[in-house]
Amino acid sequence: MYSKISKISSINKMHTKQLDQFVGQEVTLQGWVANRRESKTVVFINLRDGRGMCQCILGVEDLGEELFATAKSLGQESSVAITGKVVVDERQIGGYELHASHLKVYQNAKDYPISNKEHGIEFLVDNRHLWLRSRRQWAIMRVRNSIIYAIHNFFQREGFVQMDAPIFTGNAAEGTTDLFETDYYGQPAYLTQSGQLYGEAMAMAMGKIYTFGPTFRAEKSKTRRHLSEFWMIEPEMAFCDIFENMDTIEAFLRAVVLEVIEKCPEELEVLGRDISKLQTISKTFPRLSYDEAVEILKGHKDVEGQNSIKVLEQDLLNVEMRIAEVKADISSREAAIAAGGMKKGEINFNQNKIDSQKQELKQLEEDQRNIPNWLKSARDFVYGNDFGGSDETVLTRLFDNPIMVYDWPHEIKAFYMKRNPEDPRFARGVDVLAPEGYGEIVGGGERETSEEWLVEKIQEHKLPMDVFQWYLDLRRYGSVPHAGFGLGLERLVAWVCKLDHVRETIPFPRYYGRLEP
């Protein structure tokens, strides 16, 4: 019996996800007061215990006057233990209710700064240490946890060896513009941008490896996809070309997303995530060469009879029509309320509608501002450039699954990329672009095996040759075709949870201008 309760048999503690085993029995739950309502004789507490929620009903008759008065005094986020009988109630979050017989207060908290009313985003990020307790953040952190677990599951199942790459490095891997420099015993060192080069060395020792670690980039721009500190997963495979690499990426993302859908139905529901948009991951990912991608982006080539530019122009018209509709509906409801004569319930109903429509309006107006910029960016795109965020949004608009863009102009890719032997204008890199406007979540490719070409690239990128000698050794001693990729964990979490910004995907985000809390 105990093993069912907790894997650690000496700790017999109940939590909200075990209530199904104790219907009709007395249990004690420990947690925090997420919110509290009261009438003359009953206090309702929504108890949050980290695992889930449970409504607790504390009646004056069961508790006695003194404890009941304490219950009435509890502020939001007070820490308590509540003992009571478990009763099934499908209407409640979690499906159970606790009819309390006893209350123990650890701390009665007063003036918790985050209430149920709307707060500005800066305020919430400033209070990240508390914001993490909110229901949406709870859901996001649990999805993140499940994603991490699924990633390890996939690679361990497939025989990859997890390795830790160093954080202090003497060389850049992904360009020199966004390095964080530190002082390493009087010598300059950089915080790692990528574990890949070390991963390549380890792959020559182990066959298949993956890193899972923090990476740092001094991105001096505030976008919704850039962090200064983020977690990257970088597998590397010996005897692997770009096409097998793409097969691996596809199988990997599919396995991870499907596992998360299976394990996190409650969390995804809290987030209001439309699961059907994730389930398409079971379908084959389209693979496009850079050249094809540019044609589609500029509207010179259709995908299944659809044209990216025309579809976006239509999106804009739809947005404008919807804005007019929503505005008209809001003002007619406001007028109806103002005219008077409505019952209280009716007023509330209409007010709720107005509030939710104002939310929708905000999003619509943002789209109305953005779409023309995306269209301009796509039309003006110059062949040979890297895709910006706007270009990725336009390009992915026609697809409901991640797409893989490969064979990039070698000038815009990292020094280690293999040149396509059949057409050396291109490097064998691959980017995976997520749908629904999320864009790049994975970057990878096949690695250059020729020492001569690598040396040339290192010079071209003005990188210091001496610190790359160890890397060149990998081409001198048993060089083999090899490939790998890097997944940005936070970008995947943002897409799976459908978040507006990566700052909510990590417990304590670090991005340009943010070092606290």
Query: End-to-end distance of the chain based on CA atoms, in angstroms?
Result: 42
By CB under 6 A, the residues from 481 to 510 that bind ligand 4AD are 484-486, 488, 490-491, 502
Question: Considering the rule CB under 5 A, would residue 437 count as an interface residue with Mg ion?
Answer: no
Question: Considering the rule CB under 6 A, would residue 442 count as an interface residue with ligand 4AD?
Answer: yes
CA–CA gap between residue 251 and residue 285 (Å, rounded): 10
Residues touching Mg ion, count (CB under 5 A): 1
Of 67 and 441, nearer to Mg ion (C-beta) is 441
Question: Considering the rule CB under 6 A, would residue 446 count as an interface residue with ligand 4AD?
Answer: no
Question: Considering the rule CB under 6 A, would residue 84 count as an interface residue with ligand 4AD?
Answer: no
| Among the residue ranges 62-70, 343-351, 362-370, 438-446, the one whose residues contact ligand 4AD (CB under 6 A) | 438-446
Among candidate residues 481, 4, 5, the one with its CA nearest the CA of residue 244: 481
Question: Considering the rule CB under 6 A, would residue 440 count as an interface residue with ligand 4AD?
Answer: yes
CA atoms within a 13 Å half-sphere pointing along the CA-CB vector of 13:
10
Site track 154-193 with ligand 4AD (rule: CB under 6 A), x = hit: -------------------xx-------------------
CA–CA gap between residue 234 and residue 201 (Å, rounded): 13
**Helix 344-379, helix 308-338: angle, nearest 10:** 160
Contact residue for ligand 4AD among 96, 443, 457, 499 (CB under 6 A) = 443
Q: Which pair of tokens denotes residue 492?
A: 């995947």
Q: Are 285 and 402 in contact (CB under 8 A)?
A: yes
Question: Considering the rule CB under 6 A, would residue 86 count as an interface residue with ligand 4AD?
Answer: no
Question: Considering the rule CB under 6 A, would residue 435 count as an interface residue with ligand 4AD?
Answer: no
Q: Which pair of tokens denotes residue 233?
A: 């997963």
Q: Closest separation between CB of residue 423 and ligand 4AD, Å?
A: 21
Region label for 182, one of left (φ > 0), alpha (ψ between -120 and 50) or beta (otherwise) = beta
3-state secondary structure (DSSP) of residue 267: helix
Contact residue for Mg ion among 299, 443, 445, 488 (CB under 5 A) = 443
Among candidate residues 204, 379, 362, 382, the one with its CA nearest the CA of residue 290: 382
Contact residue for ligand 4AD among 26, 219, 259, 292 (CB under 6 A) = 219
Q: Which pair of tokens denotes residue 439?
A: 């864009």
Residues that bind Mg ion (CB under 5 A): 443
Residues that bind ligand 4AD (CB under 6 A): 173-174, 194, 196, 217, 219, 226-227, 230, 232, 234, 440-444, 484-486, 488, 490-491, 502
